[in-house]
A and B are shown apart, each in its own frame.
Chain A
Amino acid sequence: MTSQITTPRPRQDASRTPPSRKRQGKWWLPKPLLALPAWAWLLIFFVAPVGQVLWFSFGYKPGIFGTHANDVLSFDRYAEALSPTFFLTFQNTLWVGIAGTLICLIIAFPVAYWMALKAPLSRRGLLIALVMVPYWANFLVRTIGWQVILAPEGWLSHLLQGLGLTNEPLEILYTRTAVLIGVVYNYLPLMILPLFVAFDRVELPLREASKDLGANRWSTLTQVTIPLAKPGIIVGCLLVFIPLMGDYITATVLGGARGNMIGQLVASQFQTAQNWALGSAMAVLLMLIILLTVAVAALIVWVASRPFAWRRRLVIGEDS
């Protein structure tokens, strides 16, 4: 999140460190104490409850009305959790997660580029504020707005029929397309913002330098702008992908049965089956798999970027 590629500030080097450094007690608190409240808070309300879930996941469900018991510990719930239902649901979720993230990226990339580099400077603040505006209305209500638009008797259907583009009422609700519309709509701003910032940081002189060096628009884009915007792309993808993987409401509002997500399965073990042991095992698995997915994605990006970086260096080197 903190890449400092384009605006290299003079980093202070050791030789310039003032001698006062040794006696500095700049703040009145000793070192790690500043983070202590956050440590404590997260330990009590994140580590402990998640730890409790981890503990539950080794137990079992005793009887119809029991939620969990831990007198016999085993990994059986994990075996149980990795059922065909889990895999199928996870596969759907991953599909929606990846497709949703990619579509967000594809839609957001040109918009953010335009906002940061092409739109009139004086309007950029306004544009950014506008991107955020939908976020201030409840997401369910926003999505219901789409339901009105997409319904067979809805606005879009009437518009299309009025234009003579189709004679049939629009059949888009409760399909995979509807799932993606709902998801992309709700997560798009989270992609646009970091991309905007990334492009905004690619300052003009660099791109001009690229042009001056004879690069055309396309190679400026692919060899200067995109590599420099990479941190923004990564942040944007994470901001969309991670919450999306756990979200089970957004997808169902427009997608109905097609929007069944893994979060629903986990929730149902707690909300319907009262099987906390199994639900906990699923929750732990979900967390692990998301971590793993993110790690794999990071690895791929890292590997893919290596030849890219090398080539860039080579091109610039040749020209100058």
Chain B
Amino acid sequence: MTNDKQVRILANATASRIIGHELTRRGFIGATIAAGTAGVLAACTPTGGPAPAPGATGGPLENGLSIYTWGDYDDPELLTQFTSDNGPQITLDSFNSNEEMISKLIAARGTSGYDIVVPTGVYLPQMIQNDLLTELNLDLIPNLQHMDGAFLNQVWDPGNRYSICKAWGTTGFVYDNTVISRDLRTWGDFLDAAQNEASGKTSVLDDPTGLVGMYFWSKGIPWTTSDPAQLDEAEDFLVNTLAKHVAAFDSYPGGAAIPQASHVLMQSWNGDARIGILESDDPDRWEWRLGAPDTELWMDNWCIAKGAPNPEAAHAFINFVLDPEVQLVNLDYIGYHTGAEGIEDAAADMEMLDLVFFDDAQVATMHPWEIGDSQQRVVDIWNAMRAAAGA
């Protein structure tokens, strides 16, 4: 939003507070964390803008690194490895939806303490426009060369100035074949089963867009519609028909619900479903279905938040996870395609790859979300459905 050049500040606590104050007035948030108690030795204020203005210059890594990401989205052993190799201790925090993460960043205005955030691509333009992200210093991320060109240079961030593909995936559902004996194929089947044999034992994503999407896909309506009549129709169905059959709003059934068999029918992202089924005592009872006839396509991205207190460590971490070996380990754990060149061949001997890689025909049925006029309405529908489900 601004054209200021890079500002790098090395100052003592008092000075950094004043400088931070000045920067704030110009729309920046000084990373003057802990000025009062710990004392800040070096405050690094990353700035954004069209001119190359990296928040990190390849200096020594900070002691900490805070990542705000989706639940269970990196192999914990890789995080441990990063810490033991490079030093920074990692704090993980997770969110349920892009909206939740963006709200947090907006509300905290650079004081959230998060370094790395992992938004879905379609949310990036607005996040950049609203000055929530810091430009990446690609010089510090040489491992970018291992990425498949198909996942770089996306419409939401040409030239990868702010983001690099972290993983991409889709939405489908998992069901327990010991309870649901028929073969569920489509979202229509999902919604039907939810009202019948899976009533009261169905969970749906705690994500406004995915909820509304499920209904539109089942009806063959584009899920990005902003037609009020269609949105009314979706609200009516979700609130008055489906809500009372829903047992839980759970974005990560793979974390506990699938291994514990808490529900019999669960809307789920593909990688999370795979984690859950692999963790289950009895994997054979679980059937995975890609949403049909249409479903979601999302790509999450590594980004660095505005005001990140540890930009050097953040760059080092992004470079670390883009290493092909590391990507392979991560893919095996999270069950999402991470976008590395040739990873599909490298991963050929892993389990349950039908939940990870999709053929061209399948990808053709996947559509990204678009942020538009329906945004507030979709959140309202989600709230109304939660209210109805609680009744």
Q: Could you tell me which residues of chain B, from 208 to 247, have a CB within 8 Å of some CB in chain A?
A: 208, 243, 246-247
* Cα A92 to Cα B371 with chains together (Å): 32
- B 258-297 contacts with A by CB, 8 A: 260-263
Q: Are A88 and B106 in contact (CB under 8 A)?
A: no
Cα-based distance from A268 to B200 in the complex (angstroms): 24
- Give Cα A173 to B104, complex, Å: 31
Q: Give the tally of cross-chain contacts (CB within 8 A).
A: 97
CA distance A259 to B129 in the complex (A): 37
Q: Chain B residues near A261: list those with CB within 8 A.
A: 390
Please name all residues of chain A whose beta carbon is closer than 8 Å to the beta carbon of B243 when the two chains form the complex: 257
Give 17 new A-B contacts, CB below 8 A, not counting A64-B376, A65-B130, A272-B103: A64-B375, A67-B107, A88-B387, A89-B387, A89-B390, A92-B390, A153-B260, A171-B200, A175-B200, A257-B386, A258-B247, A260-B387, A260-B389, A268-B382, A271-B100, A271-B103, A274-B99
For the complex, is B148 an interface residue (Cβ under 8 Å from A)?
Answer: no
Identify which of residues 128-171 in chain B touch chain A, using a CB-to-CB cut-off of 8 Å.
Answer: 129-130
In the complex, the answer to whether B387 meets A272 with C-beta atoms within 8 Å is no
A88 to B385, CA, bound (A): 11
State which of B104, B248, B263 has its C-beta within 8 Å of the C-beta of A271: B104
Q: Is B102 an interface residue (CB 8 A)?
A: yes
A275 at the interface (CB under 8 A from B): yes
Task: Tell whether, in the assembled complex, residue A67 and residue B106 are in contact, meaning their CB atoms are under 8 Å apart.
Answer: yes
Find out whether the CB atom of A257 lies under 8 angstroms from the CB atom of B126. no
**Which chain A residues (52-100) contact chain B, with CB distance < 8 Å?**
61, 64-65, 67, 84-86, 88-89, 91-92
Please give, as numbers and ranges, the residues of chain A lying within 8 Å of B180 by CB-CB distance: none
Which residues from chain B sit less than 8 Å from chain A, CB to CB?
97, 99-100, 102-104, 106-107, 126, 129-130, 200-201, 203, 208, 243, 246-250, 260-263, 371, 375-376, 379-380, 382-384, 386-391
Q: In the complex, are the beta carbons of A174 and B248 less than 8 A apart? A: yes
The contact of B262 among A85, A86, A91, A173, by CB within 8 Å, is A173
A16 CA / B249 CA spacing, docked (Å):
67
Give chain A nearest CB distance to B373 CB in angstroms: 9
Using a CB–CB cutoff of 8 Å, the interface residues on chain A facing chain B are 61, 64-65, 67, 84-86, 88-89, 91-92, 151-153, 171, 173-175, 256-261, 264-265, 268, 270-275
Using CB atoms, name the residue of chain A closest to B99: A272
The 10 closest A-B pairs by CB, nearest first: A260-B390, A256-B248, A257-B389, A174-B247, A89-B387, A273-B379, A272-B99, A88-B387, A85-B384, A92-B390
A88 to B206, CA, bound (A): 19
Docked Cα-Cα span, A98 to B386, in Å, equals: 20
When distances are taken between beta carbons in the complex, the residues of chain B under 8 Å from A258 are: 247, 389-390
Max count, chain A CB within 10 A of own CB: residue among B200, B380, B390: B390
For the complex formed, measure the closest distance between the CB of B158 and the CB atoms of chain A, giving whole angstroms: 21
Q: Are A64 and B261 in contact (CB-based, < 8 A)?
A: no
The smallest beta-carbon distance between A170 and chain B, in angstroms, is 12
Task: List residues of chain B with CB within 8 A of the CB of A272.
Answer: 97, 99-100, 103, 208, 379, 382
Complex contacts, B248 vs chain A, CB 8 Å: 174, 256-257
- CB pair A257 B379 closer than 8 Å: no
A281 to B371, CA, bound (A): 26
Provide the residues of chain B in CB contact with A256, threshold 8 Å. 203, 247-250
Task: Tell me which residues across on chain B come within 8 A of A151, comparing CB atoms.
Answer: 260, 262
Query: Complex formed: what's the CA distance from A271 to B95 in Å?
Result: 10
**A174 & B200 in contact (Cβ 8 Å cutoff):** yes
Taking the nearest CB of chain B, how far is it from the CB of A180, in angstroms? Answer: 13
A267 to chain B, nearest CB (A): 10
Chain B residues positioned under 8 Å from A264 (CB to CB): 386
Nearest CB in chain B: distance from A181 CB, A: 16
* Chain A residue contacts of B384, Cβ below 8 A: 84-85
Among B129, B243, B248, the most chain A Cβ lie within 10 Å of the Cβ of B248
Contacts of B250 in A (CB 8 A): 256
Chain A residues with CB under 8 Å of B261's CB are 152-153
Contact partner, B391, options A64, A88, A265, Cβ 8 Å:
A88
CA distance A151 to B262 in the complex (A): 7
Q: With A272-B208, A274-B103 in contact, is A265–B387 under 8 Å at CB?
A: yes
Q: Which residue of A lies closest to B101 (CB)?
A: A271
Please give me the residue from chain B that is nearest to A95 by CB atom.
B391
CB pair B103–A257 under 8 Å, yes or no, is no
Residues of A within 8 A of B371 (CB): 64
Are A92 and B99 neighbours in the complex by a CB distance under 8 Å?
no
